[in-house]
């Protein structure tokens, strides 16, 4: 893991991944995005059956991309489950406080979302003249008019409105957020990982319509895997040394 910007804790087959930058309202800096991506990779390689994605501090799940240190390498999409990292284990977002912009995309790409009564969701990109495009996939996850209202108006959706429109599965009192998320996590821990993984893949690959930025991210992910590979380094080295490269597929 990258320092303490994101922590990974495992107990009884359930992982808790925590964005741990409360002094900056858990803004998604370059290093935070890298650490979230690494946490999902760690989850894939672990014996944990599912994970709760949450944040520290209580004031904000995350205020989105850090404008002073915006994600560039890795880019924001690289920490999105199902885009930057395919995760076949169930993911539960546990949201308290502000959840803004790209941070809502993280919640959107999780399988389940629990919010406490302090949660405040909004997406202000149209009002500030910036767009990353990942949010477009919301229109395949929510009723069309709700998705468009959220994306285009920048209006705040409180926890109750988020529940009523299907953005979250459950609302808890403040202080009971993790208990609410854990109810789902314990069900997932005791369920068949093969069945859950298969259903996630079916939905991800065959059912959900992906937005253009998601599709671009998937293509970019494959190309980055090549450019960051040992094989690419070996190919360049072999060319310089005028010999046949020895590729190992990694």
| Per-residue tokens: 15 | 């992982």
Burial of 69 (C-beta count, 10 Å sphere; 0-12/13-18/19+): middle
Beta bridge mates, 100: 122
**How confident is the model at residue 238, as a pLDDT?**
87
- H/E run at residue 248: none
Q: Say if residue 32's pLDDT is above 70.
A: yes
Q: What's the chain's average pLDDT?
A: 93
The angle subtended at Cα 106 by Cα 101 and Cα 110, nearest 5°, is 145
Residues in the chain: 250
Domain extent listing, the chain: 6-210
Separation CA 123–CA 153 (nearest Å)? 8
**Secondary-structure percent of the chain, ordered helix, strand, coil, rounded to 5:** 45, 20, 35
**How confident is the model at residue 199, as a pLDDT?**
96
Tell me the mean pLDDT in the region 123-141: 90
Confidence category of residue 1, pLDDT binned at 50, 70, 90: very low
Q: Can you tell me whether residue 123 is helix, strand or coil? A: coil
Q: Say if residue 98's pLDDT is above 90.
A: yes
Q: Can you tell me whether residue 116 is helix, strand or coil? A: strand
Q: What is the domain class of 6-210 according to CATH?
A: alpha beta
Q: Of 19, 124, 142, 30, nearest to 75 (Cα)?
A: 30
Q: Say if residue 89's pLDDT is above 90.
A: yes
Q: Of 185, 29, 62, nearest to 113 (Cα)?
A: 185
Q: Of 29, 51, 56, nearest to 40 (Cα)?
A: 51
Cα Rg of the chain (Å, integer): 19
Q: Report the predicted TM-score, pTM, of the whole model to 2 decimal places.
A: 0.90
Confidence category of residue 2, pLDDT binned at 50, 70, 90: very low
DSSP state of 223: H
The answer for 57, left when phi > 0, alpha when psi is -120 to 50, beta otherwise, is left
| Per-residue tokens: 37 | 């991506």
**How confident is the model at residue 223, as a pLDDT?**
83
The angle subtended at Cα 178 by Cα 148 and Cα 70, nearest 5°, is 50
More reliable by pLDDT, 216 or 160: 160
**Pairing, β 6-11 against β 14-19:** antiparallel
Tell me the mean pLDDT in the region 126-155: 92
pLDDT digits (tens, 9 = 90+) for 41-74: 999 999 999 999 999 999 999 999 998 888 887 7
Q: Say if residue 3's pLDDT is above 60.
A: no
Contact 38, 31 (CB under 8 A): no
More reliable by pLDDT, 187 or 67: 187
| Per-residue tokens: 247 | 């590729």
Q: Say if residue 39's pLDDT is above 50.
A: yes
């Amino acid at each position: 893991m990258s320092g303490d910007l994101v922590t990974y804790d495992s107990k009884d087959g359930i992982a808790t991944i925590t964005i741990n930058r409360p002094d900056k309202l858990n803004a998604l800096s370059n290093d935070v995005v890298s650490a979230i991506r690494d946490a999902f990779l760690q989850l894939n390689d672990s014996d944990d059956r599912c994970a709760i994605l949450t944040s520290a501090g209580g004031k904000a799940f995350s205020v989105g991309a850090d404008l002073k240190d915006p994600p560039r390498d890795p880019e924001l999409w690289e920490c999105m489950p199902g885009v930057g990292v395919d995760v076949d284990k169930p993911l539960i977002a546990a949201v308290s406080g502000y959840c803004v912009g790209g941070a809502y995309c993280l919640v959107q790409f999780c399988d389940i979302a629990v919010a406490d009564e302090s949660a405040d969701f909004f997406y202000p990109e149209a009002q500030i003249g910036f767009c990353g495009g990942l949010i477009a996939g919301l229109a395949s996850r929510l009723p069309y008019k709700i998705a468009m209202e959220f994306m285009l108006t920048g209006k705040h959706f409180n926890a109750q409105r988020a529940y009523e429109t299907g953005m979250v599965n459950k609302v808890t009192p403040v202080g009971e957020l993790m208990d609410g998320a854990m109810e789902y996590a314990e069900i997932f821990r005791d369920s068949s990982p093969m069945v859950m993984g298969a259903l996630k893949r079916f939905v991800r690959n065959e059912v959900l319509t992906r937005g253009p930025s998601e599709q671009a991210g998937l293509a970019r992910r494959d190309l980055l895997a090549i450019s960051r590979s040992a094989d690419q380094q070996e190919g360049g080295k072999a060319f310089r040394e005028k010999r046949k490269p020895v590729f190992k597929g990694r």
